[in-house]
Structure 1
Amino acid sequence: MISKTDTSLLNWIYKHVIDFTDENDNSGLTWESTNKEALSFMNGIPKKEKVQKYGVYSAKSYLFVVDEFDDIKEGLQKGVLSEKTCKMIYTWNSEIGRENWDMDDVMYALYPALGRHISRNFFYATIKNLVDLGVMECVNPETEHGRMYIITEKGERVLGLL
């Protein structure tokens, strides 16, 4: 993972994304290019193409190679990536056969206390039960994916009893 403001961004792009010495290169970048020009070039590439062609994902203030799960895990831990973004990257990688991690890895990175290979249906069914009991509440129920939940006052009282 590399910060977009890192002084070695240009070298990183040359290593992972382009070879400006290639006669077919149309990036317009040279060794004299600035980080701002390099970042502008990266931001000009559609997300799906960046992931599928170069294996690079851009999020918030970081760029990283997405076919390495350690980078995905680091992005999750830093809050740079969401589970929804991981699903998107996983799907795009799968379409072209670039894959060495799966959504079980992502779920474990997000929720390590639950262990590997836990059924997501079990996890969501459990949350639904807690919502039905009034212990948790969905703050964005209109959202189909990426719902967020909070503990209710009743939930805080129940947790206080445990």
Structure 2
Amino acid sequence: MIRLLLTFLVCAVTGSQAAAQNSVSQTLFGLSEDQRNETFTRLLQDNNAKCDLVIRTLFNGASVELDVWEALCRDGNSYSVSIPPEPNAAIELLSCRELLATSKMLLEGAGSKSKGIGCRITSVERPIERHNHRRHRATESKPQT
């Protein structure tokens, strides 16, 4: 039982620390959310992607030596971005719509009944606005004794 618990804890700790395999992603994790969004905006625009402003990013995991990120733009476009370990290497960029269409096509071609999988990043979760509806009651002064 102890061995099972220890194995679980080791997997949980190493899994969270080893999420990003390359130094480029480690640098991106070190940025604030605003800085990361600005960096992805420039990255997408420099690669001729239709994106007015990145408003959310999501690390989607690692594959071989590539780290995969997703970026959501204010104009509704979203992209899957594969980042190689070398800082000056070319990135792979695919719109989430293209990724979903390709996934569906491959699954249908293989005769699978599974649904296609695109990007996980779909929208920005907006905080629920809550208004303070506290009623003000007249306070009565307590008689002093």
Class of the TM-score when normalised by the shorter of the 2 chains:
under 0.3
User: Larger strand proportion, structure 1 or 2?
Assistant: 2
**TM-score for the superposition, normalised by structure 2:** 0.23
Q: Max radius of gyration: which structure?
A: 2
